[in-house]
Chain A
Amino acid sequence: MKSFGRLRVRRFYTWRGNPLSSNRKLRTHEYESLAIRVDGLPRTTVIRTGQHILIEGDDDDNPFAAKVVRLFGDESGQQKKAVVQWYVRVSEVPPSKLKLLGRDPHPREIFFYQGGNCDDEVNAESIIRPVQVKHLDADASFPPSDDGDDDETLYVKLAWDSKVFRILDSALVASPPRHPNPSLPPSPPRSPPAATPASRTSSRCTLPTPDPTVLRRAALGEVRRSRAAASAGKNPAAMEALHSETKLSASKCLSAKRRHGTERTPGVRKKLQLCSPEKTVMVREDALTQLLDEELEKERTLAKRVPSSPARSPTLTHRLTPLRRTNKSLAAQDAVSLKPFVITCRKVPLSEVESPTPTRDNSSSRAATTPCTKEPKPVREPALGDLAEEEAKNSSPPRSSKRKSALKVSYRIRKQLNLMDGQQDLNSDEDDEDEFVPSKELQSSSEEEEAEVVVKKSRVSSAGSRTPRSSTRTPRKTPRKNAPGTPRTPRNATPSIPSRSLPARRPANVLEEARTRLHVSSVPESLPCREQEFQDIYSFVESKITDGTGGCMYISGVPGTGKTATVHEVMRCLQHAADTDEIPPFHFIEINGMKMTDPHQAYVQILQKLTGQKATADHAAALLEKRFSNPAPRKETTVLLVDELDLLWTRKQNVMYNLFNWPTCRHARLVVLTIANTMDLPERVMINRVASRLGLTRMSFQPYTFRQLQQIITSRLNKVKAFEEDALQLVSRKVKPAPSPVPQLLPCVGSLSSLLRQVAALSGDARRCLDICRRATEICELSAAGLVGMSHVMEALDEMFSSAYITAIKCASTQEQLFLRAVIAEFRRLGLEEATFQQVFVQHQALCRVEGLQPVGVSEGLAMCQRLGGCRLLLLESSRLGVLQRVRLNVSQDDVLYALKAD
């Protein structure tokens, strides 16, 4: 959820009842059920073995689903554990495997997980709430999906064992044998399951378990319900009218919403506020208002029973409406195995509810009632989410569009209730001043919330369309107030380069083919000469993946020695192995220190690549910290490649620290491969605690020797006969740039083999080598020779490595050459390597006279000096200093003299 810090709900977990059995050896006690109490709310949820639950995961929107197999704790009662049977969500199945399904997965489809490599023991405190899981036959169709994901029910059809999908036996999913419904503190055991509907309807404080089936049915049959209400003899006419009105305007409102996407209807909001002006209550916006309204409704239905006393304290609690009760009663009448779940509800203070009543009754405020009461049913849904026991045979297929909209709205409400829970959590005692400020902020947050829901809806309904995505993820402090006219930030712009109108030409001849293969970008079939390194990295990562542990590795080597290429190759192989199920699946992500603007952006990029969320750097760091340090179950190993590690250096080194610290967390299952150029980076720049976490798994890539370079090129060319054999050797051999025996080798065919040596001698950079060869093919093409020969390679080499200084001096004008000479003369006179322009200029004038040239003026001389400085033959001070600027040579004096003499 987006503002996770704010909305965090605190839950308290307690065992219920006495241990069923205890294990001496392990010192554990097994329990039957676990009670979850949400801070600030009076409700308590009970988790029992055999129930389906949601478990906190990385993605708050899609928590893990599972079935409780066993609940146990240690002797002290501190540790609460649960053994679960996992279900896999569609999003958790690798996309490549989803194809095996042979159809599009249903968004709320889950798969019974039969793969072995998941820890099935989870911390019980990560359980969020029970969830409804419904088994469908393999050939049965899904209930038509409402275009929102507003139903909590998950459907399971197939089992997934990380290789194939199998038909699932419904017995595996079936709900557990029913236990006598336990009642919870603080409520004393109240009505037994067989309690008569009538009594329940009237009982003030007992809440029936909202049976989903029933609720659904209830949603369909509002009329019936109201009739029921009417039959209860409570203001039938008013109810009837209210309902029809409600339905009408609610559907109108909804359809309008659907049409406008993210657009809000401010009018509704305003009127809502009018509807219940109490700020303390209003901060919880619509959902709450709805609650209140229902409260009101209840009030009205229970007309005489609840006295409206304005003096009551304005504590607000979640309450179930009389409607639900009616539903309940209906349900009871329908009597499909009903398991009432009793919860106490504090007596409702109705002071604030009372006040809007007149307005509401008043038919002029029709719009106001609309949003409040538009869906009487869904309001229950969140409660259902929290309270309901799983009900496997909830099979009534949704029939009417009315229901759809209702469901959708219920989803929204649930979201809002979640939010509200959080808020209530905050101000469980009413003095919390933050809460009481009828602040804009809260309102805006609600606005956001609502926007989010709508956005979500539209996203689901029109996947791929451009929606303002980020709003769902990033917490925003300030409400965004976009005037409709201003151009919106194209948040979801897809980054792409337009595609070409004419197709790229294919390589036509041997040389072009060779050039394509020699381009650094072309991915070779294999990486020759790095077999050992490949093996080491492969076995390191593979062992970590199979063990499900984490670790760091540091890879160093000068540029162009194949570090990144080797790691990528390893990853390709591992991915292949994972695809063929030799090793467990893993997740590979890659960041590059050079490809971010700031070291802290690393968090953002990692988070985005892991989960697709966008967040600020700090927030991303927090999320990642949570992800890696919390014992989250059923996590794939993540392999993180950090290229150009040294760029992630910060003064406090916290980025590096985190990167290396996460793998050490027990549950992280993170393998970090880091790449940098210097071998001693850990010693040189890292502080001890960082270097220590990096560990000693290091590897250094040696520069290629000329043989290796030769092998690389041969393997790349792979049968394309474009080079004469010795040309290759030429590229790879160690030859000093000085005149070499190469020219003599030239005539004899099969003697072109030393260029690579030169490269090897200079850098051992494979990129350089490939570039030279590529250039050689071009030169060869120009000279219309069939094969690349020695001369071509030599020429290419010359082009790339010969220094241009000497040529530049030779090409300079006479006066400029003279000036260089004057500089040297002045240096010799002074015995220093630096002189002012004025001093040099005197020498220059003298030299001009000697050479018989007309002396130049000071301005001209300065211009000349600047030109030489522009080429960096001279190093100059700022030209503002004029004749006082100091001059230095950027070339050795010998080079200058050599160039001038050769003239």
Chain B
Amino acid sequence: MSKRKLKNAHLPIGECVSQVHQILRERFCRHQLPERPAGLEAQHKHLEELLKRTAVHGESNSVLIVGPRGAGKTTLLRCVLRELSKETEVQKNLLQVHLNGLLQTDDRVALKEITRQLHLENVVGDKVFGSFAENLAFLLEALKKGDRSSSRPVLFVLDEFDLFAHHKNQTLLYNLFDVSQAAQTPIAVVGISCRLDVLELLEKRVKSRFSHRQIHLLSSLTFPQYLDRVRAQLRLPDDFPDGSFAEEWNASVKSLCEDGSVDEVLRRHFHSSTDFRSMHALLMLCLSRVSVAKPAIRPADLLDASRLCSADTKVNMLRGLSVLELCLIIAMKHLNDVYRGEPFNLQMVHNEFKKFLQRKSNSMYNFEHPVVMKAFEHLQQLELIRPVDGSSAKTQREYQLMRLMLDHSQIMEALQKYPQCPTDIKQWAASAFA
């Protein structure tokens, strides 16, 4: 090892940087599973035991993994499966069926997919034959024929489990859970959902058949732990080809995390959300700035990335508008103030705008009515305003009632950032009577 390190000690810097990019990107995009899901040891153990019992002893089980988005539910399951597949006893026996509620939108599709993934005998090539009813009967018959000791256990993974609960009669769930509670082919049903109330979605018969095992991925994270996690995510592994570069990089990461401004940025980020995914998004932005010329992450990069992450999308859109459109937005804001959020139409907005023009007696913004209307339509297309539900269609376009989809703070922020914004408009925005 040390020899190799020595030998590889002087890789060209470009090589090193591209290596860093590759390693870290894989980590951030979740291609690379972590060694162990951090902070989820108990859950990991629970799930692993459960699946092992199905695979080895042929015991049927059902379990739900529940946690907010980005909490690592799928990662946990994948880690467990990776570990299990290392055991030959499991690897040779366990059949896996992966379903996703977003893909298998009804039981018909789901059944076909199950049949296909199990390679039952009514599958030819990639096609599943038979009607819905036949498929169901066939699958149930197949599962019924098996028994605890002789048939291969089947693992059903239902991603977005809550969506399966919306299928008609919950036929699929009932049958899966029923099999898991009967002396048939051993199956393990693992549902993954982010909804905490997922059990309430289940019909009472389905619910009774579910074993009520839930694995909650709710970890309360403190900021130091969060910081550790950031550091661990950025750290290069020990077997990095260029030892000295890795050391340098790790040291720079360490100092980065100790930096005051970085601490502030991360803290802010931590307060806003604690999940992995937003953290990865942030770090990915930093990583993209690492180059041969600058082979480390600097605090400024993190600040920029953070700014980019927390930027308001609507404000960015406003910055691209014409002055006329901006004026209309401001007029709408005033109307909102005056009428306390009541909807408005083009005529009202135009009148408000005209009042402003009269006060200024400035013909600079004297637009024809059709031009104003066009601008108004553009705003609607950008969904900065949207018609009030129900009243649409029949009324003439000028009189169609609209609502502004922006908060005041967003408008003011946009005006601040608007390049060469006329002062009188700024003043008008601040006060209707300016």
Nearest residue, chain A, Cβ from B312 = A857
Asked if residues B207 and A559 are in contact (CB atoms below 8 Å), the reply is yes
> How many whole Å from A592's CB to the nearest CB in chain B?
8
Residue from the list B133, B175, B194, B221 in contact with A601, Cβ < 8 A:
B133
Q: List which A655-691 residues lie within 8 A (CB) of chain B.
A: 677
B182 lies within 8 A of A521 (CB)? yes
Mask, A774-818, CB within 8 Å of B = 1, is 110010001000000000000000011100110110111111100
B294 at the A/B interface (Cβ < 8 Å)?
no
User: Closest chain B residue to A494 by CB distance?
Assistant: B121
CB of B403 within 8 A of chain A?
yes
The CA of A771 and the CA of B143, in the complex, are separated in Å by 22
CB contact under 8 A between A768 and B212, given known A816-B273, A838-B407: yes
Q: Is B96 an interface residue (CB 8 A)?
A: no
CB distance from A863 to the nearest CB of B (A): 8
In the complex, chain A residues whose CB is within 8 Å of the CB of B416: none
Q: Does A381 belong to the interface (CB within 8 Å)?
A: no
- What's the tally of chain B residues with a CB closer than 8 Å to chain A? 96
Residues from chain B with a CB closer than 8 A to the CB of A507 are 57
Q: How far is the CA of A857 from the CA of B409 in the complex (A)?
A: 9
- A872 at the A/B interface (Cβ < 8 Å)? yes
Structural contact, A497 and B146, CB atoms closer than 8 A? yes
Chain B residues within 8 Å of A843, by CB: none
In the assembled complex, A611 has its CB within 8 A of some CB on chain B: no
Min distance, Cβ B266 to any Cβ of chain A, angstroms = 13
**Given known contacts A490-B124, A495-B120, A522-B183, is B218 in contact with A644 (CB within 8 Å)?**
no
* A559, B204: Cβ atoms closer than 8 Å: yes
Q: What string of 1s and 0s marks CB contacts (under 8 Å) between A848-861 and chain B?
A: 00000110111110
Q: How far is the CB of B331 from chain A (nearest CB, A)?
A: 18
- Given the known interface contacts A500-B151, A864-B273, A890-B197, the answer about A594 and B169 at a Cβ–Cβ threshold of 8 Å is yes
Nearest Cβ in chain A — how far from B147, in angstroms?
A: 10
Contact indicator A500/B130 (Cβ below 8 Å): no
What string of 1s and 0s marks CB contacts (under 8 Å) between B249-289 and chain A? 00000000000000000001011111100000000000000
Interface contact B152-A771, CB-CB below 8 Å: no
Complex CA gap A496/B88 in Å reads: 23
The answer on a CB contact under 8 Å between A501 and B92 is yes
How far, in angstroms, from A699 to B169 measured CA to CA in the complex? Answer: 25
Chain A: number of interface residues, binned into ranges: 35 or more
B95 contacts which chain A residues (CB < 8 A)?
Answer: 497-498
Contact B405 A604 (CB under 8 A): no
Interchain CB contact under 8 A, A845 and B268: no
Partner of B194, one of A558, A559, A813, A870: A870
Report the separation of the CA atoms of residues A291 and B170 in the bound assembly, to the nearest whole angstrom: 59
Instruction: List CB contacts (< 8 Å) of A731-780 with chain B.
Output: 763, 765, 767-768, 771, 774-775, 778
Query: Which of A495, A559, A871 makes the CB contact (< 8 A) with B138?
Result: A495
Question: Interface centre among A493, A503, A881, by most B CB within 10 Å?
Answer: A493
Chain A residues, Cβ within 8 Å of B205: 559, 594, 644, 677
Return the contact of B218 from the options A558, A595, A763, A807 (Cβ within 8 A). Answer: A807
Query: Which of the residues B68, B149, B195, B310 comes within 8 Å of A860, measured between beta carbons?
Result: B310
Q: How many whole Å from A675's CB to the nearest CB in chain B?
A: 11
Q: Note all chain A residues with C-beta closer than 8 A to B313.
A: 859
Residues on the A chain within 8 Å of B209, using CB: 559, 767
Query: What is the distance, in angstroms, from B41's C-beta to the closest C-beta of chain A?
Result: 12
Task: Output the nearest chain B residue to A487 by Cβ-Cβ distance.
Answer: B124
Report the Cα distance A775→B59, complex, angstroms: 13
- Distance A799 CA – B199 CA, assembled complex (angstroms): 14
Which of A677, A810, A858 is in CB contact (< 8 Å) with B407?
Answer: A858
- Complex Cα spacing A519 to B213, Å: 14
Q: B137: which A residues are within 8 A, CB to CB?
A: 595-596, 605
A873 to B68, CA, bound (A): 10
Residues of B within 8 A of A605 (CB): 137
Does residue B122 face the partner (Cβ distance < 8 Å to A)? Answer: yes
A515 at the interface (CB under 8 A from B): yes
Q: What 1/0 flags go to B170-183 for Cβ under 8 Å of A? A: 01001100100111
Q: Which of A597, A854, A858, A881 contacts B132 (CB 8 A)?
A: A597
Given contacts A858-B410, A860-B310, A864-B273, contact A597 B150 (CB under 8 A): no
Instruction: Please provide the chain B residues from 368 to 389 with a CB less than 8 Å away from any CB of chain A in the complex.
Output: 383, 386
Q: How far is the CB of B48 from chain A (nearest CB, A)?
A: 11
A465 within 8 A of partner (CB) = no
Which of B108, B178, B185, B271 has a CB less than 8 Å from the CB of A497?
A: B185
Please name all residues of chain A whose beta carbon is closer than 8 Å to the beta carbon of B311 when the two chains form the complex.
857, 859
**Is residue B359 contacting chain A, with contact meaning CB distance below 8 A?**
no
Q: In the complex, are the beta carbons of A841 and B407 less than 8 A apart?
A: yes
B-contact bits for A813-854, CB 8 A (1 contact / 0 none): 111100000000000000000000010010001000000011
A498 pairs with B273, CB closer than 8 A:
no
Q: How far is the CA of A767 from the CA of B60 in the complex (A)?
A: 14
Instruction: Say yes or no: is A636 at the interface (Cβ < 8 Å to chain B).
Output: no
Residue A892 interfacial (CB < 8 Å): no
Q: Is the CB of B145 within 8 A of A853?
A: no
Q: Within 8 Å CB of B60, what residues of A?
A: 519, 521
> Does B419 sit at the interface, judged by CB under 8 A?
no
Counting CB contacts under 8 A, is A867 at the interface?
A: yes
Bitwise, A526-560 to B at CB < 8 A (1) or not (0) is 00000000000000000000000000000000111
A884 interface hit (Cβ, 8 Å): yes
Contact across chains for A502 and B181 when beta carbons are under 8 A apart: no
Q: Give, as a whole number of angstroms, the nearest-CB distance from B174 to chain A.
A: 4
In this complex, what residue of B is CB-closest to A561?
A: B208
Q: Does B27 touch A at the CB level, under 8 Å?
A: no
A872-B57 in contact (CB<8A): no
Q: Are B93 and A501 closer than 8 Å at their CB atoms?
A: yes
Residues of chain A with a CB closer than 8 A to B143's CB: 497
On whether the beta carbons of B405 and A778 are closer than 8 Å, the reply is no
Query: Given A559-B204, A596-B133, A856-B272, does the pair A500, B171 have CB atoms closer than 8 Å?
Result: no
Is the CB–CB distance between B133 and A597 below 8 Å? yes
Contact A520 B181, beta carbon cutoff 8 Å:
yes
Instruction: Say yes or no: is B6 at the interface (Cβ < 8 Å to chain A).
Output: no
Q: How far is the CA of A172 from the CA of B285 in the complex (A)?
A: 97
Mask of A581-615 contacts with B, CB within 8 angstroms, 1/0: 00000000000001111100100110000000000
Q: How far is the CB of B202 from chain A (nearest CB, A)?
A: 11
In the assembled complex, the Cα of A598 lies from the Cα of B134 at a distance in Å of 11
Is B49 on the interface with A (CB-CB < 8 A)?
yes
Instruction: List, in ascending order, chain A residues with CB within 8 A of B204's CB.
Output: 558-559, 677
Q: Please tell me if A93 contacts chain B, counting CB pairs below 8 Å.
A: no
B52-69 vs A, Cβ < 8 Å mask (1 yes, 0 no): 000011111000001011
Chain A's nearest CB lies how many Å from the CB of B179?
A: 9
Distance in angstroms from A193 CB to nearest chain B CB is 57
Q: Is B101 an interface residue (CB 8 A)?
A: no
- For residue B140, CB closer than 8 A to chain A, the reply is yes
Nearest residue (CB) in B for A857 is B312
Minimum CB–CB distance for A142 against chain B, Å: 34
Contacts of A812 in B (CB 8 A): 68, 274
Do residues B133 and A808 form an inter-chain contact, with CB atoms below 8 A?
no
CB distance from A132 to the nearest CB of B (A): 39
* Leading 5 A-B pairs by shortest Cβ distance: A493-B121, A559-B208, A495-B142, A495-B141, A504-B58
Provide a sorted-by-A list of 24 A–B residue pairs whose CB atoms are within 8 angstroms: A496-B121, A496-B142, A498-B95, A499-B150, A500-B58, A504-B58, A504-B186, A521-B183, A558-B204, A594-B178, A597-B171, A778-B49, A782-B49, A801-B212, A807-B216, A812-B274, A813-B273, A856-B310, A857-B311, A864-B273, A867-B68, A867-B69, A872-B196, A881-B405
Kindly list 20 other residue pairs between chains A and B, CB separation below 8 angstroms, not including A872-B196, A881-B386: A496-B121, A497-B152, A498-B152, A500-B152, A512-B57, A521-B148, A522-B183, A559-B205, A594-B171, A799-B214, A800-B212, A807-B216, A813-B270, A857-B311, A857-B312, A858-B312, A858-B407, A859-B310, A864-B273, A883-B407
What is the interface of chain A, defined by CB distance below 8 A to chain B?
Answer: 487, 489-490, 493-505, 507, 512, 515-516, 519-523, 558-560, 594-598, 601, 604-605, 644, 647, 677, 763, 765, 767-768, 771, 774-775, 778, 782, 799-801, 804-805, 807-808, 810-816, 838, 841, 845, 853-854, 856-860, 863-864, 867, 870-873, 881-884, 890
